[in-house]
Amino acid sequence: MNKSNPWTALALLLLVCCFTVAAAASAFRLEKWEQVVKTETGEVRVLRGSDSPSKRQGAGAGSDRTNSIHIGFIFMEPKSLFIPQYLDSSLVLFVHRGEVRVGWVYKDDLVEKQLKMGDILHIPAGSTFYMVNTSKGQRLQIICSVDASESLGFPPYQSFFVGGGRNPVSVLAGFHKSTLSTAFNVTQEEIETILGSQTGGPIVMVTDDVAAGKDRRRGKGDRGRRGLLLDFDSEEEEEEEEEEEEQRWSWRELLENFMIGVGGGGSGDDRRNAKKGPVKSPHPYNLYDRDPDVKNKYGWSLAVDEHDYKPLKHSDIGVYIVNLTAGSMLAPHVNPRAAEYGVVLGGSGRIEVVFPNGTAAASVEVAAGDVFWIPRYFPFCQIASRSGPMEFFGFTTSSRRNRPQFLAGARSVLTAMVGPELAAAFGVPEEILREVVKAQSEAVIMPARPSPEPTRKEKEREEKMERREK
Ligand SMILES: *[C@@H]1O[C@H](CO)[C@@H](O)[C@H](O)[C@H]1NC(C)=O
Ligand SMILES: *[C@@H]1O[C@H](CO)[C@@H](O)[C@H](O)[C@H]1NC(C)=O
Ligand SMILES: *[C@@H]1O[C@H](CO)[C@@H](O)[C@H](O)[C@H]1NC(C)=O
Ligand SMILES: CC(=O)N[C@H]1CO[C@H](CO)[C@@H](O)[C@@H]1O
């Protein structure tokens, strides 16, 4: 009479309950593993959060943040380097095992920290960082949250390698060689040396010196302490962690919409009239009444944010204006916090924009009246034509201090990071990297490179090519 045994019935009931609970629990377990990086010396795996941000149409960013977080697992063998990169997502790193030295750009300076087991560290979206193992013979494991609420919408996250070469491809590679030659003030050959060496993937083996960070301590005075850009205001701004609703777009839309108003008519001369609308209080703010943030022989630029003009805070919009002399360049840079809209007020020039994978997204000629759009995080530069100055003005989609990150010039991410890690990232000797990074004495706005005259080596190569073509 087992059937009627009440104990058996109870046991069955319990069993059923257990299964139900287990089934429910498995629905809460994230199982969509993705291998994002895999090299001989390391690996990154990501588990996507239960909902990707692109699905959260219309949801106020931040209101349901839990849905837009992915969980990343980073494994790095001893003596390995995670090549300098920035992401379209912010990270909170947690050191699960081993030790790691992390260098990253914080408020325009390079900061380095030695993390040990149990430490956590926040790396903001758009901030360039690298990681070096420092644990003796122990595999390093980091668990991190990948907060995609500021992402471009391509989960799990989009990385932009600053260091690199052939693999990973540095975003620098997306600019014309001649543009880089001007920005860095070195020959195109030297550029090719820097950008053609690394083949090891995003996580590479490094020498003991790099792993131990020896050079770092020795050369302390030489690096790190420099403001990257526009430290025109030493007052420490409290970072409001406001969430910004980002535009969603696809690569295709990007290509199609780069020039949103080519030949939009209207010469730059209208601008002053346009400004004098019937604006009531609060008082307007005049761009021309203020000293530029950056000014040298080759041009000037200034940006107005909510700290300068409070009303901007309400609409969360920033304003900037740039004037470049003939042939000059606003060096390759990145806006870590905002998309940028620009209007060419006068003159003409060229704009280059680079995809995250280090290929050219656009290289477009612009003239007065043209309107351009640059997505957040995308590297780009503006170059005035040699025939005359180019003036452009525009808006950024954030009223917070933008802190553009420059990728070339005397105050750039590269000058801040130059050292054994960056050399290892590019796969070249440190002296060679230093020569290239230091050749440019100007910051932010660079002169045209004087001689389109090729060097002897370049000439010889050209002649060889010509002969081959015949
Ligand atoms: C921009 O610079 C050019 C010379 O480089 C100058 O003639 C022009 O007036 C400047 N524009 C403004 C608005 O300052
Ligand atoms: C780089 O990314 C763009 C945009 O997604 C794509 O069109 C292009 O094919 C990619 N190039 C390479 C070499 O992967
Ligand atoms: C560019 O490099 C040359 C040396 O090769 C130097 O004389 C010149 O001052 C540099 N120009 C700038 C703007 O740094
Ligand atoms: C600084 C440091 O401890 N680096 C270590 C990275 O891993 C290698 C291999 O175990 C060690 O020899 C290094 O000391």
Q: Whose CA is nearest to atom 3 of ligand 1?
A: 389
Q: Whose CA is nearest to atom 7 of ligand 1?
A: 389
Characterize 438-451 residue by residue with b for buried, 16 or more Cβ atoms within 10 angstroms of its Cβ, and e for exposed.
eebebbbbbbbbee
Residue among 102, 136, 207 to mutate when testing ligand 4 (max atoms within 8 A of CB): 136
283 touches ligand 4 (CB under 6 Å): no
Q: Whose CA is nearest to atom 14 of ligand 4?
A: 136
Work out the number of other CB atoms within 10 angstroms of the CB of residue 342. Answer: 22
Q: Whose CA is nearest to atom 8 of ligand 2?
A: 359
Q: pLDDT > 90: what percent of the chain?
A: 45
pLDDT at 86: 96
Question: Is residue 402's pLDDT more than 90?
Answer: no
412 touches ligand 1 (CB under 6 Å): no
Q: Which residues contact 265 (CB under 8 A, 6 or more apart)?
A: 369
Residues 235 and 292: their CA atoms lie apart, in Å, by 18
Q: How far is the CA of 393 from the centre of ligand 3 (A)?
A: 29
Residues 406 and 160: their CA atoms lie apart, in Å, by 14
User: For residue 15, what pLDDT band results from cuts at 50, 70 and 90?
Assistant: low
Residues 98 and 78: their CA atoms lie apart, in Å, by 9
Q: Average pLDDT, stretch 256-266?
A: 46
pLDDT at 243: 33
Q: How far is the CA of 439 from the centre of ligand 3 (A)?
A: 6
Strand-pairing partners, residue 320, are 303, 394
Decide: residue 99, CB within 10 A, 0-12 exposed, 13-18 middle, 19+ buried: middle
The tens digit of pLDDT for each residue in 45-85 reads 998 876 544 444 433 444 444 456 788 999 999 999 999 99
DSSP E strands in 116-228: the ranges are 120-123, 129-133, 140-147, 159-161, 203-205
Residues 374 and 377: their CA atoms lie apart, in Å, by 9
Q: How far is the CA of 36 from the centre of ligand 2 (A)?
A: 17
Question: Is residue 316's pLDDT more than 80?
Answer: yes
Q: For residues 402 and 15, which has the higher predicted lDDT (pLDDT)?
A: 402
pLDDT at 116: 86
pLDDT at 308: 87
pTM of the model: 0.73
CA distances from 339 to 112, 158, 330, 370 (A): 28, 16, 17, 17
User: For residue 129, what pLDDT band results from cuts at 50, 70 and 90?
Assistant: very high
Q: Whose CA is nearest to atom 3 of ligand 2?
A: 355
pLDDT at 74: 94
The tens digit of pLDDT for each residue in 174-233 reads 999 999 999 999 999 999 999 999 999 999 999 888 887 754 544 443 344 333 333 333
What is the SS3 assignment for 45? strand
Work out the number of other CB atoms within 10 angstroms of the CB of residue 261. Answer: 15
pLDDT at 427: 95
Residues 134 and 136: their CA atoms lie apart, in Å, by 6
Question: Could you report how far apart the first and last alpha carbons of the chain are, in Å?
Answer: 99
Structure tokens at 404: 């553009």
Q: Which of 65-69, 253-257, 265-269, 444-448 has the highest mean pLDDT?
A: 444-448
Q: Whose CA is nearest to atom 9 of ligand 2?
A: 359
Q: Which residues contact 62 (CB under 8 A, 6 or more apart)?
A: 149, 243
Residue among 289, 391, 392, 445 to mutate when testing ligand 1 (max atoms within 8 A of CB): 391
Q: How far is the CA of 409 from the centre of ligand 1 (A)?
A: 23
**Range scoring the smallest mean pLDDT among 84-98, 150-164, 246-260:** 246-260
Q: Average pLDDT, stretch 4-18?
A: 57
Domain 287-409+444-469: CATH superfamily, name plus number: Jelly Rolls (2.60.120.10)
| Number of the ligand 1 atom closest to the C-alpha atom of 325 | 5
pLDDT at 21: 52
Domain 27-164+201-215+224-229 has CATH 3.30.1490.20: no
pLDDT at 362: 93
Q: How far is the CA of 379 from the centre of ligand 2 (A)?
A: 15
440 touches ligand 3 (CB under 6 Å): yes
| Number of the ligand 1 atom closest to the C-alpha atom of 391 | 1
The DSSP code for 273 is H
Q: What are phi and psi of 241, to 5 degrees?
A: -90, 60
Residues 443 and 296: their CA atoms lie apart, in Å, by 9
- Mean pLDDT, the chain, whole residue set: 79
Q: For residues 144 and 231, which has the higher predicted lDDT (pLDDT)?
A: 144
Q: Whose CA is nearest to atom 6 of ligand 1?
A: 389
Nearest to residue 395, comparing CAs of 277, 289, 287, 291? Answer: 287
Q: For residues 386 and 107, which has the higher predicted lDDT (pLDDT)?
A: 386
pLDDT at 359: 95
Which residue is listed with tokens 């130059």? 418
Are 107 and 402 in contact by the 8 Å Cβ rule? The answer is no
Are 203 and 140 in contact by the 8 Å Cβ rule? The answer is no
> Fold identical between 27-164+201-215+224-229 and 287-409+444-469?
yes
| Number of the ligand 4 atom closest to the C-alpha atom of 101 | 1
301 touches ligand 1 (CB under 6 Å): no
Q: Where are the domains of the chain?
A: 27-164+201-215+224-229, 235-264, 287-409+444-469
Q: How far is the CA of 380 from the centre of ligand 2 (A)?
A: 16
What is the SS3 assignment for 63? coil
User: For residue 273, what pLDDT band results from cuts at 50, 70 and 90?
Assistant: very low
Nearest to residue 433, comparing CAs of 163, 169, 228? Answer: 163
400 touches ligand 4 (CB under 6 Å): no
pLDDT at 281: 54
User: For residue 7, what pLDDT band results from cuts at 50, 70 and 90?
Assistant: low
Q: Whose CA is nearest to atom 5 of ligand 4?
A: 134
R_g of the chain, CA atoms, integer Å: 26
Q: Average pLDDT, stretch 154-177?
A: 93
136 touches ligand 4 (CB under 6 Å): yes
* DSSP of 157-184: --EEESS-BTTTBPGGGGS-HHHHHHHH
- Region class of 423: left (phi > 0), else alpha (psi between -120 and 50), else beta: alpha
Helix (H) or strand (E) holding 348: strand 348-354
Q: Average pLDDT, stretch 423-445?
A: 95
Q: How far is the CA of 367 from the centre of ligand 1 (A)?
A: 15
The DSSP code for 71 is E
pLDDT at 386: 94
Starting from the CA of residue 420, give the closest ligand. Answer: 4
